[in-house]
Amino acid sequence: MKKRRILVVGGLAAGPSAAAKAVRVNPSAEVTMFEASETVSYGICEAPYSIAGIISDESRLVIYTPERLREEKGFDVKILHHVEEVLPGESKLVVRDLRKQVLVEYEYDKLILTTGASPRRLHVDGEDGRNVFHLSSREDTRNIIRYIQSECPKNAVIIGGGYIGMEMCEALRTLGMEVTLVHRHRLPMAGLEQETRERIVEELEHHGVHFVTNASVEGFHPGTDGKVHHVITNRGTFDSDMVILSLGVEPNVTLAKSAKVRLGSTGAIATDERQLTNIDGVYAAGDCCEVKNEVTRKPMYLPLATVASRAAWVAGENAAGGRATFKGAIRAIAVKVFGIEVAQVGISSEEARAAGFDVLTESITGASKVRLMPGSQKVTIRMIIDSRTKRLLGANVFGGDGAVLRADTLGVAIQHKLTIDEIARFDMIYAPPFAPLWDPILVAANKAKSRF
């Protein structure tokens, strides 16, 4: 019997997961993964902590080398190979070997696209200055670390107040820099509730971040040394020894489009529950794809490692001949903003209204553990509730210890369509060093119940 040939395009996160799963499911399959850069399987989410020096030695962020993937996971890895074209009619890839600068064709039985995402650009002159950085690859991470070590920047301007922006504020403050965060809206972290976003601003400012609101970048001021020395905005000009662009990402779909792979309404690749695209034998997973929102049942673009890994397992299993499905995600995300934990699960009140829900929100502040115990901290929970069914649609949890893990508990409630009455009946642990008699989750659910 002819061996099944599975080709995987892209090696950062979803690619290795999909390839490894394919081999586990079908050990006789011939699986090959192509990656245009030198690095596969990289912990980019840990990069801010490596830049801050909290994780020493950046090379530890490499989870698997190509050699280890070959030996331990049993598939072939071709780095510095750029896939230029998919020929679905012929079931072939056209691949450029970047070292030899030759084009080679590879035949496949099944193809998995894990082409990832790229950081959004500002499209402003000076954006390519040698002290202007994105943070979406190992190369970016190493460039930032190297620049900081060699040039000892004093002033950093971070443009974009999303997750990476938050983490980089903390990382660069930890290194002792003056940090200016330039954001186009009044509050950072779009998608979170207003109360949460206001708390984040307070925390940023408390830790010395200069937060510039409602600002749009009008230009950079490059010097003859190839560096941007000033960031010019409608809200003032800011000195910059270094600039971080953290404007979010967009899916890499050029290859998919050229192969007539269908994109969804979000602009990312659309797949079914098996991670199959509209093209027979072509699967996709990871940051190049959209995913079904389990609350609204509509597609969303959610470039997260958790979603990528789970979708990649499904793509890998199905490409290998198995039968797996990926039901979607509720959106479960968290970020550390200096001293506070901030988490979001499910949809925001704005999204809920847009999706046609009749929305009730309720917010309480409880204690992370018994108040008398040293280290007890405030935890705030805002619940977003469908007032017709009393179902929990989303929640923000922020504050001290355990905010994030409590969000996970609420995430389960959201995923399983539980009502606030059911949440109020949760049998939760009370133990003075860990949780108060009435966990903030119960306090929030009981308060919300009283509104009906």
Q: Count, in order, helices (H) and strands (E) of the chain.
A: 12, 25
Q: Out of 269, 335, 383, 445, point to the residue binding a copy of itself (CB under 8 A).
A: 335
The reply on whether position 309 binds a copy of itself by CB under 8 A is yes
**For residue 66, which phi and psi values (nearest 5 degrees)?**
-55, -40
Total number of residues that touch a copy of itself (CB under 8 A): 59
Specify whether the backbone of 296 is left (phi greater than 0), alpha (psi in -120 to 50) or beta.
Answer: alpha
Among 10, 15, 43, 153, binds a copy of itself (CB under 8 A): 43
Which helix (H) or strand (E) segment is 85 a member of? strand 81-87
The residue among 353, 342, 420 whose CA lies nearest residue 165 is: 342
451 binds a copy of itself (CB under 8 A): no
Residue closer to a copy of itself by CB (options 47, 385) is: 47
Rounded Cα gap, residues 19 and 343, in angstroms: 31
Task: Provide the b/e sequence for 110-147 (b: ≥16 CB within 10 Å).
Answer: bbbbbbbbbbeebebebbebebbbbbbbbebbbbbeeb
Report strand pairing: 217-222 vs 210-212. unpaired
Q: Is 196 in the site for a copy of itself (CB under 8 A)?
A: no
Contact letters for a copy of itself, residues 341-360 (x by CB under 8 A)? x-x-x---------------
Q: Is 158 among the residues that bind a copy of itself (CB under 8 A)?
A: no
Q: How many CB atoms lie within 10 A of CB 226?
A: 12
Task: Considering only residues 279 through 308, tell me which ones interact with a copy of itself, judged by CB under 8 A.
Answer: 294, 304-307
Backbone φ and ψ of 7, nearest 5°: -110, 140
DSSP 175: T
Out of 45, 152, 169, 288, pick the active-site residue. Answer: 45
CB of 32 to a copy of itself, least distance (A): 24
Judged on CB neighbours under 10 Å (0-12, 13-18, 19+), 422 is middle
Contact predicate 343/405, CB 8 Å: no
Q: How far apart are CA 415 and CA 399, in angstroms?
A: 23
Is 45 a catalytic site residue? yes
Query: What is the smallest separation between the CB atom of 264 and a copy of itself, expressed in angstroms?
Result: 19
Interaction between residue 142 and a copy of itself (CB under 8 A) = no
Q: Which of residues 403-432 bind a copy of itself (CB under 8 A)?
A: 404-409, 411-413, 415-416, 418, 422, 425-432
Alpha-carbon distance of 187 to 182, in angstroms, equals 11
- Applying CB under 8 A, the span of 34-42, 176-184, 265-273, 400-408 interacting with a copy of itself comes to 400-408
Nearer to a copy of itself, 158 or 312 (CB): 312
Under the binding rule (CB under 8 A), the answer on residue 72 touching a copy of itself is: no
Judged by beta carbon, residue 48 or residue 126, the one nearer a copy of itself is: 48
Interaction residues for a copy of itself, span 360-389 (CB under 8 A): 370, 372-374
In the complex, the residues that contact a copy of itself under the rule CB under 8 A are: 43, 45-46, 49, 54-55, 60-61, 294, 304-307, 309-310, 327, 329-336, 341, 343, 345, 370, 372-374, 402, 404-409, 411-413, 415-416, 418, 422, 425-435, 437-439
| Catalytic residue numbers, as ranges | 45
